[in-house]
Structure 1
Amino acid sequence: MALLRRRRVSLVTRQLLRLVLLHTAWEVGSGQVRYSVPEESKHGTFVGRLAQDLELEVAELVSRMFRMVSNSRRDYFEVNLQTGVLFVNSRIDREELCGQSPLCAIDLEVIVDKPLRIFHVEVEIQDINDNAPVFLVQAQNLVISESRLLGSRFPLEGASDADIGTNSLLTYKLSLNNYFTLDVQVKNYHSTLAELVLKKPLDREEIPEHRLLFTATDGGKPELTGTVQLVITVLDANDNAPVFNQSVYEVSLLENAGHGTLVITLNATDLDEGINKDISYSFSDLLPFSVRKLFSIDADTGEIRLKGEVDYEVKTLYEIRVEARDKSPFPLAGHCNVLVEILDINDNAPELTITSHSLPVPEDAPPGTVVSLISVSDRDSGDNGKVTCSIPPNLPFQLVSTFKNYHSLVLAEAVDRERVSEYKILVTAGDEGTPSLSASSSILVPIADVNDNAPAFPQPVYRVFMKENNPPGAHLFTLSASDPDLRENAFVSYSVVERSVGEQPLSSYISVHSESGHIYALQPFDYEELEVLQFQVSARDAGFPSLCGNVTVQLFVLDENDNAPAVSPAGSGRGSPGPELVPLSAGAGHVVGKIRAVDADSGYNAWLRYEVQEPRAAGPFRVGVYSGEISTTRALEEADGPSQRLVILVKDHGEPALSATATVSLSLVESPQAVKWDSRQRGGSEGPLVDMNVSLMIAICSVSGLFVLVIVVYVGLRCHPGPEVMCGPGKATVACSSEVASWSYSQRQSRNLCVGEGTAKNDLMVFSPNSSGNVGIEKPQQELTLKSSAAVSHMTESLFGNVFML
């Protein structure tokens, strides 16, 4: 008995030391917060002040969307959001939850938003002594021959206790009797063998049957007990029982072993002879059915073979009680235990569970933002159960191990929705077994748009051409800006950047439709007042904050022939003037006067042509086609009459052409006199001529230099065509190829020359500058067109004719 007590103390000491070591290892590897609670605790039992221990404000639990995720199938715990206290929500049965595992804990994931944070909480379920030892049967029947020697041993079927630790540490005792004692041997951590020892010879004639009470007591407080009745039948005769060469056999078996695999071959011997020596092997009658359906034994050879499928994840150890019985009419039996340890193989792939998402991810989310929580598990053990988690490379995400088999999918670098709108991430979990098994799961991570792109126009400057005298509300042009963002961030509205045009605001000239980008003219344009209107249009999106982009629009007003030529007055007063005096001595080519006319238009529309309205009535006079000079065609004669009346028609080159007329009266006299002439037009007036020699010299030099310059430029442009060029200081008046496809030289203080690409004609049109009232007699633009050698002759005649006239 002293030896039994020492063995019990040694067993208890080893178990306690093992529990302490396991508990210490668990404590080191636990999460941020750890609690413990006894099993079978009632609903509402206080577990811990979770919010306080996690350093969370209780008032913020609801606003930060406090939630708790458990790895168990039931919600055993709940948190009071008003106090932050963790309490028991439902009954916890440790044996149902963890079975015989020495450590039993429920992992909780506490998640809060704004910002997203994750806390790991472990709640240890403490075992209480709520299960009494249980025997498989109510009575154990033993048959013992009266010839058995003193000290013979008879193994007894022990009890089982669903608790763990000291609560499952069983001690046995036998009711008082004179024939038997109890011997308990601890074979190893998994097996305790209780044997009935014969201490006094049996006499069947005296007592044919013995009834004893076999009691098992656990180590809990308070102690719980279980009992079974031992019914011992005393037999006569055969006094040698079969004996195994060892009482406990330990074998290992892979969990993938096939049907018929040999587990072990048992061998028992019997010292008797004859039929008393022949042995038959069988399983103990007390062997559970769950073990019988997995293993079979050959009665003659003692071979134990596998006939079912064993799974390490279901059970790791099987204890088989084998009986060897001789074939005597009064058989004796020997017993042994076979411990079959199931070895794990890598037959379970890892399992992936995605427990939480923070989707979609804004494209301006900073690196480190948690996207999803991933938990992995593997039912295998050892290296077969060690799992590594990975995602494909070259993605802006990474996996961060947070707690045990928990990983966080976080943003590793900035993302751009306009480049990639969503990511399909394949998460792969692989174990370290041989061969390795893996599992994968896809996570679709959409990227949410933010307003990070301003509207943009396809080009920075638009050039729009519009004829003057357009109707109010005429459509000029349509602008379109693009924004790669989504929804309101990509909704573009247009507006004009307000400025002043002269004394009027820009909004009085044009307007832009805010949604379509159509540009409309609010009033008719007049080329003579405004040739180029430059303004900016802004495109703004509807994001917050909104972004905008600008574009410059240059509106070129094209001239139309809407101004008729106007003849400059030559006399004083109104009404019909007196005749102009022409000396009879004038020879052919004598200039007697000049018609001066102006046209407010430009280009061809301002290019004037002079001709006599009735050529037959002109007599010995003619008018210069482009100079307007009236000269004689021959020497004058008395037969020409005392006076002549010429009607001069001044016509521009517009389409349709506009014209004006002037009436000139000429009187032939004997002596030369100062020439006076009239210019008559409907509603016209008269003015005196002023002669200035200094102005004459300036005009001669200017016209000659201008002529040479035009010829040089023309030849250079013909030889070296180039792209459109803007040049010149001051207020730039841009002259480009227009509908008449000519090169124009504008009459302004800043003179710019533009060469248009792809013109249909090779014309060069030059407008002479305005002359003051004291220098010249032509105020409007005078045009000279060079189309051929004939055009050059006309231009020479016009230029030098004006000079000589001056």
Structure 2
Amino acid sequence: MDDLPFLLKSSLENFYTLVTEGPLDRESRAEYNITITFTDLGTPRLKTQLNITVTVSDVNDNAPAFSQTSYTLRVRENNSPALHIGSVSATDRDSGANAQVTYSLLPPHDPQLPLGSLVSINADNGQLFALRSLDFEALQAFEFRVGAADRGSPALSSQALVRVLVADANDNAPFVLYPLQNGSAPCTELVPRAAEAGYLVAKVVAVDGDSGQNAWLSYQLLKATEPGLFGVWAHNGEVRTARPLSERDAVKHRLLVLVRDHGEPPLSASVTLHVLLVDGFSQPYLPLPDAAVAEARADPLTVYLVVALASVSSLFLFSVLVFVAVQLCRRRRAASGGGCSVPEGPFPGHLVDFSGAGTLSHSYQYEVCLRGGSGTGEFKFLKPIMPNFQGHSSGPAEENPNFGFSIQ
């Protein structure tokens, strides 16, 4: 029984007991084959042997142990639900029910992590099935702990950390930040005609929600009003003049720029730039873009109606003023009593008399009507005193002294 943790102990003559010398560990050795030899003291000595098999029974003295203290699993975004993303494994050195392991998800440290809606674990084999499609842009990584417990009494358990990394897929097209493409009036870039080759016209700014090469962007000029006049730098989106401008170049230019990522397959977006060539930034007038001109001419009927309304209003106001002036004139004449003083003396002047003979008259007569009680001699109205055609003769103009004007 050399090197065996057993000992024969005699309590009575020819009576022996097999006892252990120390604790037995079933996980180190579960069975012992012992041969006991008995020898007498005679001559010759006779002996006999006894074979004993000792089986060490198990007790639940070992907790389950994971193959790794932490696991890192990777899953591609936009995965199908119930996708197997990986497994954890734990073993127990005990036997029987003491070695049967069950797996479970432990509550996460972050209470805001909806772990129950993200992953599940098979209690029997430790397989981890994602419960829903994962989005890299919303959740790039998350971690949780899994537990493994045996079925002994009392049950022993252990735990391990699981970290899930969501791999990016090229599911986001580039998004253009500038110039804005929101359907409003287009933004026009002004370029002086004195610009030399390499003049910076504009810079297309775009972003991609993906990562890695899926977010690497390149720029390309797809279409231009005048090919060869402008160019786009592939890596930074800068739009520059490719040659000096000339007077023969058109005033307005439209550029179509393509922005593409490096994913597989690549996704792209396009942006339109409007460029206006000007003689200088200080010129007082710049032609309107086509959209603004179209908007200004969209409803000429409204302009006509406004003009017509203004004309009618002005005519009505003028008529009212004339009517008021006439009424005031009549009231003033009525208040003055119609009295007029007519000077007897002739007023010479250089007026033409068409009294019938066609000759120049040498005498004129004015009728002065003064406002009664005014005390002033200001003239109010001027009216001609028609000649007396009674007894009209075809004589010279001097014979018709009654032709003239009166101030009233």
TM-score, with structure 1 as normaliser:
0.34
Give the Å deviation of 1:445: 1.1
CA distance in 1, matches of 2:181, 2:215: 27
Structure 1 counterpart of 2:174, from 553, 562, 565: 565
Q: Deviations over 1:390-420 (max 9, x none)?
A: xx22111111112232221112111111221
Conserved in 2, the CA contact under 8 Å of 1:498 and 1:505?
A: no
Q: What does residue 25 of structure 1 align with?
A: none
Q: What does residue 280 of structure 2 align with?
A: 671
Q: Deviations over 1:603-662 (max 9, x none)?
A: 111111111122685441111111111110110112221111001111100011111111
Give the Å deviation of 1:579: 3.2
Q: What does residue 43 of structure 1 align with?
A: none
Structure 2 counterpart of 1:472, from 81, 84, 87: 81
Conserved in 2, the CA contact under 8 Å of 1:500 and 1:506?
A: no
Question: SS in structure 2 opposite 1:638?
Answer: coil
Q: What does residue 625 of structure 1 align with?
A: 234
Question: SS in structure 2 opposite 1:488?
Answer: helix
Conserved in 2, the CA contact under 8 Å of 1:581 and 1:673?
A: no
Q: What does residue 3 of structure 1 align with?
A: none
Q: What does residue 368 of structure 2 align with?
A: none
Q: What does residue 613 of structure 1 align with?
A: 222
Q: Deviations over 1:307-327 (max 9, x none)?
A: xxxxxxxxxxxxxxxxxxxxx
CA distance in 2, matches of 1:525, 1:502: 19
After TM superposition, list the pairs within 5 Å mapping 1:678-757 onto structure 2.
none
Q: What does residue 25 of structure 2 align with?
A: 416
CA distance in 1, matches of 2:60, 2:192: 87
Conserved in 1, the CA contact under 8 Å of 2:75 and 2:164?
A: yes
CA distance in 1, matches of 2:215, 2:28: 57
Q: Which amino acid in structure 1 is aligned with residue 108 of structure 2?
A: R
Unaligned runs of 5+ in 2: 290-408
Q: Which amino acid in structure 1 is aligned with residue 3 of structure 2?
A: N
Q: What does residue 581 of structure 1 align with?
A: 190
Change (3 A) 1:468 1:571: closer
Question: SS in structure 2 opposite 1:485?
Answer: coil
Conserved in 2, the CA contact under 8 Å of 1:476 and 1:519?
A: yes
Q: What does residue 402 of structure 1 align with?
A: 11
Give the Å deviation of 1:459: 2.3
Structure 2 counterpart of 1:519, from 115, 128, 131: 128
Q: Deviations over 1:212-262 (max 9, x none)?
A: xxxxxxxxxxxxxxxxxxxxxxxxxxxxxxxxxxxxxxxxxxxxxxxxxxx
After TM superposition, list the pairs within 5 Å mapping 1:261-660 onto structure 2.
392-501=1-110, 503-570=112-179, 574-577=183-186, 579-614=188-223, 617-660=226-269
Aligned length in residues: 285
Give the Å deviation of 1:481: 1.5
Question: SS in structure 2 opposite 1:503?
Answer: coil
Conserved in 2, the CA contact under 8 Å of 1:533 and 1:555?
A: yes
Q: Which amino acid in structure 2 is aligned with residue 534 of structure 1?
A: E
Give the Å deviation of 1:500: 4.9
Change (3 A) 1:592 1:487: same
Give the Å deviation of 1:557: 1.1
Give the Å deviation of 1:533: 1.8
What RMSD over aligned residues (CA atoms) do the two structures have, in Å?
2.2
Change (3 A) 1:580 1:673: farther
Change (3 A) 1:673 1:567: farther
Q: Which amino acid in structure 1 is aligned with residue 56 of structure 2?
A: I
Question: SS in structure 2 opposite 1:508?
Answer: helix
Unaligned runs of 5+ in 1: 1-391, 679-806
Change (3 A) 1:625 1:673: farther
TM-score, with structure 2 as normaliser:
0.66
Change (3 A) 1:491 1:572: closer
Change (3 A) 1:578 1:526: closer
Q: Deviations over 1:14-39 (max 9, x none)?
A: xxxxxxxxxxxxxxxxxxxxxxxxxx
Question: SS in structure 2 opposite 1:665?
Answer: strand
Question: SS in structure 2 opposite 1:604?
Answer: helix
Give the Å deviation of 1:582: 1.1
Q: Which amino acid in structure 2 is aligned with residue 601 of structure 1?
A: D
Q: Which amino acid in structure 1 is aligned with residue 122 of structure 2?
A: H
Conserved in 2, the CA contact under 8 Å of 1:494 and 1:513?
A: yes
CA distance in 2, matches of 1:488, 1:393: 33
Change (3 A) 1:410 1:555: same
Change (3 A) 1:551 1:504: closer
Q: Deviations over 1:283-316 (max 9, x none)?
A: xxxxxxxxxxxxxxxxxxxxxxxxxxxxxxxxxx
Q: Deviations over 1:740-790 (max 9, x none)?
A: xxxxxxxxxxxxxxxxxxxxxxxxxxxxxxxxxxxxxxxxxxxxxxxxxxx
CA distance in 2, matches of 1:562, 1:547: 46
CA distance in 2, matches of 1:502, 1:584: 63
Q: Which amino acid in structure 2 is aligned with residue 499 of structure 1?
A: P
The range that moved more, 661-670 or 571-580, is: 571-580
Change (3 A) 1:571 1:490: closer
Change (3 A) 1:631 1:507: same
Q: What does residue 405 of structure 2 align with?
A: none
Change (3 A) 1:554 1:565: same
Q: Which amino acid in structure 2 is aligned with residue 575 of structure 1?
A: S
Q: What does residue 359 of structure 2 align with?
A: none
Q: Which amino acid in structure 1 is aligned with residue 49 of structure 2?
A: S
Q: Which amino acid in structure 1 is aligned with residue 250 of structure 2?
A: G
